[in-house]
A and B are shown apart, each in its own frame.
Chain A
Amino acid sequence: MTGAPPCAGRPTIGVLALQGDVREHVRALSAAGATGVAVRRAAELRGLDGLVLPGGESTTIGRLLRVFDLLEPLRAAVAGGLPVFGSCAGLILLAADVLDGRPDQPLVGGLDVVVRRNAFGRQSQSFELDVEVAGVPGGPVHAVFIRAPWVEKAGDGVDVLARAGERIVAVRQDHLLATAFHPELTGDTRVHGLFVEMVRELRGAT
């Protein structure tokens, strides 16, 4: 660890708490060695070592980002290098572009991917599957996909970490990590562990 004091121990990682499965992410972060805190206001972004955009309804969260003046501060934070992990709706919000979304759906952006919303189908097609995730040791991750998106197109700077069948379902680009599935739902905290490690490395280096 080259870590500076704030991150050498337990980094503080926010979970965007406008809507979605916030509590599950906070708990997974705590189990993975970080302190998770719910974030609802732009002022609460200050002092965070990282941020999670949770699962939820991306159109709802996007609209609330705009209503509560969080969209621009979040874009600035991502551009400024804040490590961010998005699951499902969080992946959509981080994407540069979304297919099958609403035309006016606000995105945070930053991740050079095009995602397709609800790509795996409606709820009756939601599924569980073991997937190998690059960078996560200890065997496959049991992944839960709920009306899940997939990554339709990934830019050159994007590492593909996992696929379900042919489809890209986990990616990393510099300080941004995203999954189409919900590691926060299974009790296996290795993906959160990967993110906490990213946060330690990136924040320790600055």
Chain B
Amino acid sequence: MSEDLTPAPSVATAVPPAGEATAKTAGEVGTARVKRGMAEMLKGGVIMDVVTPEQARIAEDAGAVAVMALERVPADIRAEGGVARMSDPEMVTGIVEAVSIPVMAKARIGHFVEAQVLQALGVDYVDESEVLTPADPHHHIDKWRFTVPFVCGATNLGEALRRIGEGAAMIRSKGEAGTGEVSNAVVHMRTIRGEIGRLAALPGEELFAAAKELRAPYDLVAEVARLGKLPVVLFTAGGIATPADAALMMQLGAEGVFVGSGIFKSGDPARRARAIVEATTMYNDPEVLAKVSRGLGEAMVGINPTELSAADRYADRGW
């Protein structure tokens, strides 16, 4: 037997309600392995924000590996302001019924009841997302209590490991959602990967102090040092608007891509969606990237994130 690729977590996993499969096969649902394993199956793929069943079908037709159902894409949340919450269940259900690929949906940071509702609706992944208005300034959701897996955003390794410690089964860079500007995603991905590289080079006795500095559980710090990677899948998100952006993030070490406003705020969403999917697969082949980047029409206009006020910087939400 070789080394276990998805080791059991150090924190006990709550395994609530028995699903249909359990009744049929006596299998165990909601384990860390099936939660993390689901994200493994999304690797090399693109997850697209959609606000209607029609958009979900366009995303599926383009080859998305999953869709993220939400009421407003981040660019509109920025433009319109107000409190951003979980989507209307009717809208989430409409999207679940419209496509055959996995459906994700966003809950507010710390809003465990929104997450309970999304789990009851049968979504395949919950994004505890800084794009929505945080419901709790101190505590994120205790994600071990759920059968549905969670993805969370992170700007650095310590934040990623705190989320994994709370039960996140997938991590994404936060980037700066709704700007169409990729620099924050780049910084977050370089930071996370760089910190992992430094941990992997440390002698074992220095990992205790590293855990203190990262403000992260020691067991997870030691595991990252041993694996040379996170124990869960690492995607990128927050400002990806072009096929070249997606390929850039893949070359920087992302294992897949979330595209929020970048597709449906552009001139020709279906075509741009296909191009970003193809660029994510062939991220290392500039000739393919040149071909798929041609004639895509208008990209989303975008916002320069350095012009955002502190309150408008979503990446600073959460800890």
A interface with B by C-beta (< 8 Å): 17-24, 27-28, 31, 40, 55-57, 59-60, 63-64, 67-68, 88-89, 100-102, 117-118, 120-129, 144-147, 164-167, 182, 184-189
Contacts and interface: CB of A to CB of B under 8 A. Distances in A.
Given A56-B43, A129-B26, A144-B34, A123 B102 contact: yes
Contacts, number: 166
A27 B5 contact: yes
Given A21-B40, A127-B34, A145 B27 contact: yes
B19 A124 contact: yes
Contact of A147 (B24, B28, B38): B38
Interface string B257-277: 000000000000000000001
Name the residue in A31, A56, A118 with the highest tally of chain B Cβ atoms < 10 Å from its Cβ.
A56
B100 A102 contact: yes
Interface string B109-144: 000000000010010110000000000000000000
B34 A187 contact: no
B44 A127 contact: no
Which are the 10 A-B pairs with shortest beta-carbon distances?
Answer: A127-B27, A123-B124, A129-B27, A31-B2, A187-B4, A125-B19, A19-B44, A125-B21, A165-B25, A126-B34
Main secondary structure of the interface of B (DSSP, over half): loop
Contact of B124 (A68, A100, A147): A147
Q: How large is the interface on B (under 10, 10 to 19, 20 to 34, 35 or more residues)?
A: 35 or more
Nearest to A64: B281
Contact of A126 (B6, B26, B38): B38
Nearest to A128: B28
A127 B37 CA distance: 10
18 contacts: A20-B43, A40-B282, A55-B40, A57-B102, A60-B101, A68-B281, A68-B282, A89-B41, A120-B21, A124-B29, A125-B22, A126-B34, A126-B37, A127-B31, A129-B25, A147-B38, A184-B5, A189-B1
Contacts of B125: 123
Contact of B20 (A59, A100, A121): A121
Contacts of A184: 5
Name the residue in B3, B20, B25, B30 with the highest tally of chain A Cβ atoms < 10 Å from its Cβ.
B25
Interface string B21-59: 110111111110110011011111100000000000000
B60 interface: yes
B37 A22 contact: no
Given A68-B282, A185-B40, 14 more contacts: A18-B281, A21-B43, A24-B40, A56-B65, A123-B34, A123-B125, A123-B148, A127-B19, A127-B28, A128-B34, A147-B41, A147-B124, A185-B5, A185-B6
B21 A121 contact: yes
Contacts of A123: 34, 38, 102, 124-125, 148-149
Nearest to B122: A122
A123 B121 CA distance: 12
B63 interface: yes
